[in-house]
Each structure stands twice: as structure tokens, then as C-alpha cells.
Amino acid sequence: MIYLDYNATTPIDKSVADAMLPYIQGNYGNPSSSHDYGIAAQKAVESAREQVASLLNANPKEIVFTSGGSESNNMVIKGVAYSFRERGNHIITSQIEHPAVLNPCKFLEKNGYEVTYLPVDGFGTVNPEDLAKAITSRTILVTIMHANNETGTIQPISAISRICRKKGVLFHTDAAQTVGKIPTRIDDLGVDFLSVAGHKLYAPKGVGALYIRDGIQIEPLIHGAGHENGRRAGTENVIFNVGLGRACEIASDWITDNTIREHRDKFYKALQSLFGNRIRLNGHPKNRLPNTLYISFLGFETSEVMKALGRVAVSTSSACHSGSTSLSPVLRAMGISDSELAATIRFSLGRYTTDNELEIVLKNLSTLVEKSIDHTI
């Protein structure tokens, strides 16, 4: 099977697996223990913390290890809501956020909080001016993703952070899709919180991190003993933390490598040549992730595109329930109507994608063009 679903998850990098191995087969001490086994484990965790911090250009003490992006997002949104309730009860997000942001916001709405869901334009971009108008004296948090998981559109995070800083509002970005793909330096983004998902950058599933700007205290999501400097209880996951650290170390080299972008652009040009005006690129044509193509095949149904693709792992925007096809909420927020519903496929490339694989995919898709010609004749 050809894998073109790297935005959904990534395989574990061999170097990451090698780094984890010593802590699977041995070095099993509890990092909180004072004996040599515990000290060795604690050193491994802190070394991993430094590796994550280095990729973000943050201070290691600002990094909290979590179980993944969803926990990191919940920890921020609920933590700020509980800790700053006396200051206000208003949160601002966007209509195209991941469920790991939208659902905590909906939960808080049921508990007395007010949430504003900002619209996006036809490219899936939040307008900073809309944000500025939405902020009130009761706003305590803004949470806008760095890049959308479907379209790959990158949000104007720096511009948003400047508005938040001027208004005295805390700002969080879900960077699950961007860490390891594009620069995510804290000093450039200007955020107060940033979420990392390990399995999106060739680390294991079940590990992530949260950047919390030094000096900000929020209520922990998980209470217990004083792990992670009192910010997240639970015995440290040494094995996976080491894996995430190594993955972040490797990612620093890939951010400056244009191989994946070149593969994607070559693939897109070939699709344009093959289908002409029968495909539509969803999302921003330039300001998007270097690995993502979100393509609508106009006049085709999802089932026939997937059949043509064969053994190619991709993601579809539409969910089929009882034989009916629904429009992606992200596309709907971008102003695409049900009348424009088409087979929409997300191709997301990765480190192991090859030209040969993409040529096979193009050959498979060419059968769609041949069938449409035959049908016309």
C-alpha cells in the first residue's frame, strides 16, 4: 500500500525507535526515584525536554510532556478557564479547529462560558481584524490552530499574537500539524501556549508536549503527585518522551529540506495536467503546509475516486453515513455549498514518499479521466 496520509499520522522514524530501545529493554527506573535507576531515567526525560525546547526555541522548563495533542489542548483551554474565571468567561476560537479544541470549548459553554467561533475566508484563513473586534473585557483566551489539518492553510499566528498581547489576552495555538514541517519558534509566533502531537512528527502515538510561557500558572488537567513541576501528575513516560525528544531533534533538519514540497508541487502539476479544470485546490495556494494537497475532483463521487486509487492510503473530507455524503465542516466554513459537493481527497506526503509512488497514484487516477471520456462519447 502507498501511504499518503501523513497528516493523519506518521510512521516512527527508525532513529526514534533506536533511541527508545534502551528504555524498553532496560533503564526502567522511575524518574522520581533517588537511586541510580531513577536518576538515569530522570536524565533521559530532561534531555528529551531540552530537545523539544530546542526545536521550539523555548526554555526547557516551559515544556510539559503530555499524552498528545488532545491532552495538551484540553489542558490549556480548561486550565485557563478554571484559573482565570474571575477575570472573565469569554473564549475565542475559529470554526475550523480540530475537535480537540472545539469539543472542550463546547463543554465549557455548557458550564457558563461564552465562546466566539470566528469565520474564515475562502482560503480557510482567519482575519486578524475579526479577532480584534471579537475581543471583549471578559476575554481570557484565544485559541487558533497554526495550520489546518485538512487544507494545510497556515494561519497568521504572529499577527494574532500581537493583537492578543496588546489586549492582554492569553493566546494558544494548536501546532500539531506544523511542528516538524515548518518553523515553530516561540519568539516568532509570540504565543503563550503551543500544543505538540508526537505522532505527527515520526514519534509514537500517545505522547505530546505543551509549551507554557514562563510565569503563567494554570490549573492542571490531571491532579496527583507533583510531576512536571506540578503541572501534570503521573509517572513520566520515559520511553515515549525520549522518542519525542529524538523526533524533535531530527525535525530541525527536515524543516529546511525542500524535498517533500518539491514532491508535492510536482504531483499537483501532474494532476492539473491530467484533470484540467475538473479539480479544485482547497485552501491557500501558497500559504500552506509543504506536504498537503486538498483536492476536489469535480463531477466525481468519492467512491469512484477511491476505487481508482486502489491501495493508496489517503483521507477523504466526506463522511458516508447510510449511503449519504456530507460536506466537510471545514469546507462549509470556507463558503463551499452543498451544491458544490465533490469527491475531496487530502493527499499528505511525508519523508518516505517517493516519485515512483506518486507516479503510480497518477497512473491509477488516469483511469478516471479515461472513463469520463468514454462516458462522454
Cβ pair 189, 41 in contact under 8 A: no
| 105 a catalytic residue | no
Determine which one of 105, 164, 248, 320 is catalytic.
320
Nearest to residue 136, comparing CAs of 153, 115, 119, 122?
115
304 sits in which H/E element: helix 302-309
Distance CA 186, CA 158 (A): 10
Q: Which of 64, 60, 53 is nearest to 218 (CA)?
A: 64
Grid cell digits, residue 292: 498537503
Residues 131-163, buried b or exposed e (16+ Cβ, 10 A)?
beeebeeebbbbbbbbbbbbbbbbbbbeebbeb
Cell of 364: 491509477
Q: Do the beta carbons of residue 333 and residue 150 sit within 8 Å?
A: no
Active centre residues (catalytic): 320
